[in-house]
Amino acid sequence: MMKKKLLLCIALGTALAACSGSQKKEVDWKKNVLDVAVCQLKTTAEELTDSALFPRSVWTGYKLDFLIEQMEQPLENFQDSLCANPATDKLGQKILCGIYDWTSGFFPGSLWYAYELTGDKDLKTQAVRYTNMLNSVRYYKDNHDIGFMMNCSYGNALRLAPSDTIQAVLIETADNLCGRFDERIGCIRSWNFGPWNFPVIIDNMMNLDLLFNAYRLTKDMKYYNVAVRHAQTTMKNHFRPDYTSYHVVSYNSDGTVETKCTHQGQHNESVWARGQAWGVYGYTACYRETRNLDFLNQAMHIADMIMEKVTTEDCIPYWDYEAPATSDTPRDASAAAITASAFLELSTLAPEGQKYFYYAERLLKRLSQSDYFAKKGENGGFLLKHSVGSLPHGAEVDAPLNYADYYYLEALKRYLDMQE
């Protein structure tokens, strides 16, 4: 009898020790990523104090043979679109951008999230400073990405340090975004360049949060109606029967579709990884704001498609789902971070949300490991490694990206909130 009791005590002690070790490991990864994030963000903010610039990425080069292999098509098909290879002395150096770059809002947004996660007042001071640098973007009308630029910066400022000035900036920016909406087409115009008559990219779904924000602030239905109509038109025309998305749909002036293509993917009918992430994030947000079940169903369909079609062993997708499945093919950590953030929110809205939570948790923990998450003082001051900006253009291939960091921190915040 005594022997049985002793064995039981040993077994119980071993189980408790294992549980304690598991809990310590769980705490350790969260503490580690926050420690690194605070260090990287503070260091970068201080380095750029006098520059009036924002960190965007790190210069990486490319080899033509590698791009041809990834694109699986002749060089002449995409050669004219290639960015110039950076000079050798630039490799590994930060790419900086000004206030009118489409990514300018992500660094201040990351500072806001890091402040929210840690309570570090120095981060708040830097978040305010870098957000205020974007003030004149409120007058900018030549880019649909003013939603990204201002909602990620001023939108987070509104949550964490609200003021009438911040509200005014967001409303004025939303007015300019509405100015790009065409009633006949039912969409907000994306680019002002290229061969298209009226291009709309799947990324544009991410700008709708700004309009919903403006609606909440003003109760003016015009913002709500533009956002809903854009989402409905995009749902009708951007998606294939299997819920994969084109990158670009261009419209004729009468609202009919001019052409469909995938500008940053392997080919026009391929499945560009970040585009799918933009889609599930955008429709999840639309359901949150409208409770329109069409948007929830669309978000779930896209999410289920992602879980089916991403076949890498750790669920971090290749830059395009149809890219060669080899060890040399770049992953896109930015797509994984956006997906993780979207899935965490979707898990709280969908009837069977648990599967989206577990998938997001797996992505977040994987991105937090050393082969994707930087050490202090490395990776150009960014958090995540191994993202892809636009491989067909030779731009930011296997590089850190400021928006990968932003959505990683957003996902981390959502995840930790769900643990409370």
Average pLDDT, the chain: 94
Confidence of residue 409 (pLDDT cuts 50, 70, 90): very high
Q: In this structure, is residue 94 part of a structural domain?
A: yes
Residue 45 neighbours by CB under 8 Å, 6+ apart: 111, 126, 129, 130
Structure confidence by residue, pLDDT tens digits, 4-50: 444 444 444 544 444 445 556 667 899 999 999 999 999 999 999 99
Given a cut of 70, is residue 62 above it in pLDDT?
Answer: yes
Structure confidence by residue, pLDDT tens digits, 219-232: 999 999 999 999 99
Quote the pLDDT of residue 15: 45
Please count the structural domains in the chain: 1
Q: In this structure, is residue 386 part of a structural domain?
A: yes
Instruction: Produce one character per residue of 148-177: b if its CB has 16 or more CB atoms within 10 Å, e if not.
Output: bbbbbbbbbbbeeeeeeebbebbbebbbbb
- pTM, whole model, 2 decimals? 0.94
Catalytic residue among 35, 50, 142, 203: 203
Annotation marks residue 203 as catalytic: yes
Q: In this structure, is residue 23 part of a structural domain?
A: no
Annotation marks residue 145 as catalytic: yes
Structure confidence by residue, pLDDT tens digits, 140-196: 999 999 999 999 999 999 999 999 999 999 999 999 999 999 999 999 999 999 999
Structure tokens at 205: 């779904």
Q: In this structure, is residue 138 part of a structural domain?
A: yes
Given a cut of 70, is residue 287 above it in pLDDT?
Answer: yes
C-alpha to C-alpha distance for 299 and 305, rounded to whole angstroms: 10
Q: In this structure, is residue 27 part of a structural domain?
A: no
Q: In this structure, is residue 330 part of a structural domain?
A: yes
Measuring CA to CA, how many Å separate 231 from each of 97, 155, 379?
A: 30, 20, 36
Report percent pLDDT > 90 for the chain: 93
Q: Which domain holds residue 239?
A: 33-419
Q: In this structure, is residue 8 part of a structural domain?
A: no
CATH (domain of 68)? 1.50.10.10
C-alpha to C-alpha distance for 82 and 126, rounded to whole angstroms: 35
Report percent pLDDT > 70 for the chain: 94
Catalytic residue among 80, 101, 145, 254: 145
Q: In this structure, is residue 187 part of a structural domain?
A: yes
Confidence of residue 408 (pLDDT cuts 50, 70, 90): very high
Burial tier of 195 (Cβ tally within 10 Å: 0-12, 13-18, 19+): exposed
